[in-house]
Amino acid sequence: MPTFDSILRIVALALDQLEVAVCVFDNRGRTVLWNETFLQFFPEHAGHVYAGEDYRENLRRFYLQRLPQDELPSMERYIEEGVQRHHSQQRAFEFDHHGYRVRVASLSFGAFGRVRLWRKTTPLLTGMQDRINPKLTPLPGRILPDTAMALESLADGILMVDEKDGTLWANHSFLRLYGLSDIKDLGARRFDEIYAAAWQHEEPTAGYTTGLSVLKERQRFSGAPYVLALPRNRWVRIVELRGTQANGTSFFSHVDITTQWRQQEELKQLSLHLESLAVKDALTGLLNRRRFDEVLEAEWRRAHHSEMVLSLLMLDVDHFKHLNDTHGHPFGDEVLKRFATVLAGRIQRTDSLVARYGGEEFAVLLPGTALADAAQLAELIRQQVETMSLGNEQTGLVRITISIGVACASDLAFNASSSMLVDMADRALYEAKRKGRNQVACS
Ligand SMILES: Nc1nc2c(ncn2[C@@H]2O[C@H](COP(=O)(O)OP(=O)(O)OP(=O)(O)O)[C@@H](O)[C@H]2O)c(=O)[nH]1
């Protein structure tokens, strides 16, 4: 399996062949690697840049070389702003450099850091002036050259449609967003057709299907922003300004929100993960005591409210201390994991709950199950554990047994509390231990 580092190096070499400069930074803004094209674009770094160098130093060399004398006092501020841009840049921008124009993109790798890419490009403004030159590309009667120029300067996509939703005009950013190279490719198509065309050569995803239905829904009302999925996991937020002009022209602004969207998704995943850490036991993956207490309380109230039965099993591995002392703590952990798997496999009903109550003690909450059925289930678990083979080369064959205490809420007074159910099951468990272990006792 190639390492992350070796993959980065190969990609950097491949980008050299495309004449794209690359420089990778870690999450603290320190330089990790760069390619030959980077040094050609920015010769001031050749022989100076080194792995681990702060991005600030990179910027300082850039500005020292480039700033006129009278702007040098502002250099530190420029560097700070550059660092801010480096951390927050979401969409590509362009700047003049050594007589040509460079387009620069910066992408976050989440926790790892950032990659910056530069490529030489046709001067945007020249392209733009061609586009709004009425002799080359006639503008629709409803748009003035100055307005077109202003809209071209926006990083967001702008689409203008007539009263029948047919395209009148779109700016350069809009064309790029939807993979179009020329405004003539748009024709007088409606936006839903442009959207479908952007997906034409792509494998349709759930995001695309949702996008189509969002667009249908949009035909009925307008105003609120909405989000559409684009191919290759990109996302766009659209705001419409419909029919405010006497002639029925509507404007749509299209903002590429891919970076924020992905960050939001990462945060969602992270918070789900954190939530699951907060309620799960790290060793066995079962719910932890905290979650058990919450669910027990809720089920207890539900059982009282709807006069349902509610049973509880408390299960404890017999002579577990001896097992730990004989075969070691790690083996004890393995036993707990195996036992947890048996319990999770047995308790399949979605309203039931299996938790690690603490140490080698486990709890199973069974809403809607009466004492006799709970005891029967406990007996099946006891038998399954008794016949389970455990062990490894060092320990040889090991067998374990468990004791189980069973209690049912209907045996408690109406004004009792949920903790009394636990006490009752615990007392039954103690009774099972006292009578010689490897057995089920009911309260
Ligand atoms: N390996 C391992 N051991 C644990 C863990 N949590 C608690 N223990 C051990 O479990 C043992 C429980 O011992 P005791 O409460 O004396 O009970 P026992 O030896 O199982 O005896 P009886 O319950 O009376 O059958 C203690 O030695 C704890 O250190 C754990 O996560 N992993």
- Residue 267 lies inside a defined structural domain of this protein: no
Element (H, E) at 342: helix 329-346
- At residue 194, the pLDDT reads 95
Residue whose CA lies nearest to ligand 1 atom number 6: 359
Cβ(93)–Cβ(101) below 8 Å: no
- Residue 49 lies inside a defined structural domain of this protein: yes
DSSP code, position 139: P
Q: Which has the closest alpha carbon to 41: 61, 70, 57?
A: 61
- Residue 393 lies inside a defined structural domain of this protein: yes
| 54 plus 70 within the same structural domain | yes
- Residue 91 lies inside a defined structural domain of this protein: yes
3-state secondary structure at position 252: strand
Cβ(406)–Cβ(371) below 8 Å: yes
- At residue 410, the pLDDT reads 83
CATH number at residue 428: 3.30.70.270
| 145 plus 112 within the same structural domain | no
Distance 336 CA to ligand 1 centre (A): 10
| 186 plus 242 within the same structural domain | yes
Residues with beta carbon inside 6 Å of ligand 1?
Answer: 283, 316-322, 324, 329, 332-333, 336, 359-360, 433, 437
User: How far does Cα 131 stand from its chain's mean position?
Assistant: 40
Residue whose CA lies nearest to ligand 1 atom number 13: 321
Give the range of the structural domain holding residue 155, as residue numbers without chain letter.
124-261
| 295 plus 257 within the same structural domain | no
Measured from the Cβ of residue 137, the count of other Cβ atoms closer than 10 Å reads: 14
| 92 plus 193 within the same structural domain | no
DSSP string of 204-239?
--HHHHHHHHHHHHHTT---S-EEEEETTTEEEEEE
- Residue 96 lies inside a defined structural domain of this protein: yes
Task: Name residue 96's beta-bridge partners.
Answer: 101
pLDDT in tens for each of the 443 residues of the chain? 778 888 989 999 999 999 999 999 998 889 999 999 999 999 889 999 999 999 999 999 988 888 888 888 889 998 988 888 888 877 777 777 777 778 888 888 877 889 999 998 865 444 555 555 556 566 677 778 888 888 888 889 999 998 888 999 999 889 989 988 888 888 889 999 999 999 999 998 999 999 998 888 776 666 678 899 999 889 999 988 876 666 778 889 999 998 888 888 888 888 888 888 889 999 999 999 999 999 999 999 888 888 889 999 999 999 999 999 999 999 999 999 999 999 999 998 888 999 999 999 999 999 999 999 999 999 999 999 999 999 898 899 999 999 999 999 887 766 788 999 999 999 999 999 999 999 999 98
Ligand 1 atom at minimum distance from 283 CA: 31
- Residue 273 lies inside a defined structural domain of this protein: no
Q: Which has the closest alpha carbon to 413: 288, 304, 258, 263?
A: 304
Distance 373 CA to ligand 1 centre (A): 28
Q: Give catalytic status of residue 163 as yes or no.
A: no
- Residue 417 lies inside a defined structural domain of this protein: yes
- At residue 321, the pLDDT reads 96
- CA–CA separation, 309 and 327 (whole Å): 41
What's the structural domain count of the chain? 3
Distance 429 CA to ligand 1 centre (A): 15
Distance 407 CA to ligand 1 centre (A): 23
Q: Which has the closest alpha carbon to 32: 50, 59, 7, 13?
A: 50
- CA–CA separation, 391 and 280 (whole Å): 26
CATH number at residue 146: 3.30.450.20
Ligand 1 atom at minimum distance from 325 CA: 27
Element (H, E) at 405: strand 402-408
| 365 plus 216 within the same structural domain | no
CATH number at residue 59: 3.30.450
Among residues 94, 360, 386, 393, which one is catalytic? 360
Residue whose CA lies nearest to ligand 1 atom number 14: 321
Ligand 1 atom at minimum distance from 320 CA: 20
| 323 plus 364 within the same structural domain | yes
What's the burial of 374, exposed, middle or buried (CB within 10 Å: 0-12/13-18/19+)? buried
Mutate which of 320, 382, 401, 402 for ligand 1 pocket (most atoms within 8 A of beta carbon): 320
- At residue 138, the pLDDT reads 65
Give the β-pairing of 402-408 and 440-442.
parallel
Of 102, 121, 140, the one marking the end of a domain is 121
User: How far does Cα 35 stand from its chain's mean position?
Assistant: 30
Cβ(32)–Cβ(8) below 8 Å: yes
- CA–CA separation, 280 and 343 (whole Å): 15
| 150 plus 179 within the same structural domain | yes
3-state secondary structure at position 348: coil
Amino acid letter at 41?
F
Measured from the Cβ of residue 119, the count of other Cβ atoms closer than 10 Å reads: 18
| 397 plus 358 within the same structural domain | yes
Q: Which has the closest alpha carbon to 284: 210, 211, 202, 343?
A: 343
Distance 148 CA to ligand 1 centre (A): 76
- Residue 326 lies inside a defined structural domain of this protein: yes
| 116 plus 135 within the same structural domain | no
| 238 plus 307 within the same structural domain | no
| 191 plus 298 within the same structural domain | no
3-state secondary structure at position 308: coil
pTM of the model: 0.54
